[in-house]
Structure 1
Amino acid sequence: MKRSAWNHVIWDLDGTLLDTYPATDGALAAALDGLGRPVTPEELRPLTRITLAHAVTALAGRFGLPEETVWAGYEREYAVRGLTFSPAMPGAQEAMRSVRAGGGLNLLATHRDREGALRKLKAAGLDKLLDDMLCVSDGFPRKPDPALFLALLEQHSLGPAEVLAVGDRELDIRAGRAAGCLTALLVTAGVPMHTGADRVLDGLGALAGSGL
């Protein structure tokens, strides 16, 4: 996939532009520990890297706990851990600057609420590099439904073939492909690799400069 095939990027946020997994995993582990059901990081990673909702459902079923109880515990713990700084992923700033330098747009499609996403992007120094964002809190269904992607394409009058969708989970790739975009999967430890992405990335630095 050559760089000439795309100009713009629709980014995922959690686990792609920002390293938010430590706070998520820590909150879920603390919640389960408080319920007398301790889990190891190795048990959590394959579950949360699919989705947090998948992890809660799977672990509640495993331990015979009501899902709402696990969610309540997670939300209490994340209210503390989620305030901690989520650093930009290695190569994120360079990749976003490269898109800008090539005349492209940096767009964001995220499950996170708008206020929380903007707060974390600003703390990580990525907010000034972002051109637009749409969130589930704006009234869109969650990925892999392509509605977030299709709305961004329409708002900016972009053809899907000139847009690269970048994410760290299969649901990001499925949403991007359903919208007709090129897709790139960022490799993350614990994430299943059964994906139909056009490219697999070992790091975001691969998207910087003229390397594609």
Structure 2
Amino acid sequence: MNILWDYDGTLFDTYPAYAKRMSQVLGSVSEVDCYIQLKVSATHAISFYQMTESQINEYNRLISNISPEEMPPFDHVEDILKQADCNVIMTHKDQEGAHKVLDYYGFTNYFREIVTADHGFPRKPDPAAYEYLHHKYRIDLAVGDRELDIIPAKQLGMYTCLFQNDKPADFHLNSYRNFYEVVIF
């Protein structure tokens, strides 16, 4: 199976650390509320809270300094990575930030290609990056934690799987423990 993975909230549990930093910048908004908005998208959360340029810059500075220890991989995701024929990532995260965490947990070698914000593709849900990866690797399944992550896959006719999200998708998982029991072609 050839799998296209989202990064934040799919491979690594990053949103609690992001929500903590956003709450810190906003002051009067709880981490839980920030988490809910960030799970839609960072752009959405920034707009929702009407963050100023100064707040956005401070938030970006804080998240760039988060240690990998605060962004652990989800339980059992490594088991799936080991069993897949091919894994690729498409993320809005920058190359340095993505590799910092992937390298820390020893995950980098599981991926044939890691497409980041630095590659110049339009942001999701634009399908350009997915199309590039699909043509190159013949992707069977796209896995993400947000509807935004699977919209481009659906447009290209790929199977889709949402992690910890019940929006419409071909497959849904709350845990990676039983991935191959749930994701059956």
TM-score (norm 1): 0.80
The partner residue of 1:108 within 77, 89, 93 is 89
Secondary structure of residue in 1 paired with 2:20:
helix
Pair 1:204 & 2:176 matched: yes
Secondary structure of residue in 1 paired with 2:22:
helix
**Which structure would you say has the larger Rg?**
1
CA contact (8 A) 2:19 2:32 kept: no
1-structure distance, mates of 2:22, 2:110: 31
CA contact (8 A) 1:15 1:168 kept: yes
2-structure distance, mates of 1:42, 1:25: 7
Could you say which structure has the greater relative contact order, defined with CA pairs below 8 angstroms and 6 or more residues apart?
A: 1
- Name the counterpart of 2:157: 180
Secondary structure of residue in 1 paired with 2:118:
helix
- Name the counterpart of 2:38: 48
- Name the counterpart of 2:4: 10
Secondary structure of residue in 2 paired with 1:107:
strand
- Name the counterpart of 1:93: 78
CA contact (8 A) 2:173 2:182 kept: no
- Name the counterpart of 1:4: none
Secondary structure of residue in 2 paired with 1:204:
coil
The offset of 1:209, in angstroms, is 7.3
CA contact (8 A) 1:98 1:209 kept: no
Percent identity, aligned pairs only, is 30
Secondary structure of residue in 2 paired with 1:184:
strand
What does the per-residue CA deviation read over 1:157-179, in whole Å, with 9 as the maximum and x for residues that have no partner?
A: x2x5xx10000001011121112
- Name the counterpart of 1:39: 29
- One-letter identity of the residue aligned with 1:110: T
Q: 5+ residue gaps in structure 1? A: 1-6
1-structure distance, mates of 2:61, 2:112: 33
- Name the counterpart of 1:19: 13
1-structure distance, mates of 2:136, 2:100: 23
Superposition RMSD in Å: 1.9
- Structure 1's consecutive aligned runs of 4 or more residues displaced over 4 angstroms after TM superposition are 208-211
1-structure distance, mates of 2:153, 2:182: 23
Q: How does 1:147-166 map to 2 (within 5 A)?
A: 147-156=128-137, 158=138, 163-166=140-143
CA contact (8 A) 2:141 2:160 kept: yes
1-structure distance, mates of 2:154, 2:38: 22
Q: How does 1:65-76 map to 2 (within 5 A)?
A: 66=52, 68-76=53-61
- One-letter identity of the residue aligned with 2:33: E
CA contact (8 A) 1:27 1:77 kept: yes
What does the per-residue CA deviation read over 1:179-210, in whole Å, with 9 as the maximum and x for residues that have no partner?
A: 2210000015xxxx4x3211111112232479
In the comparison of the two structures, how many residue pairs are matched? 183
CA contact (8 A) 1:30 1:77 kept: no
What does the per-residue CA deviation read over 1:99-127, in whole Å, with 9 as the maximum and x for residues that have no partner?
A: 1xxxx201111111122211211112211
What does the per-residue CA deviation read over 1:122-167, in whole Å, with 9 as the maximum and x for residues that have no partner?
A: 11221121121212210101111111111012223x2x5xx10000
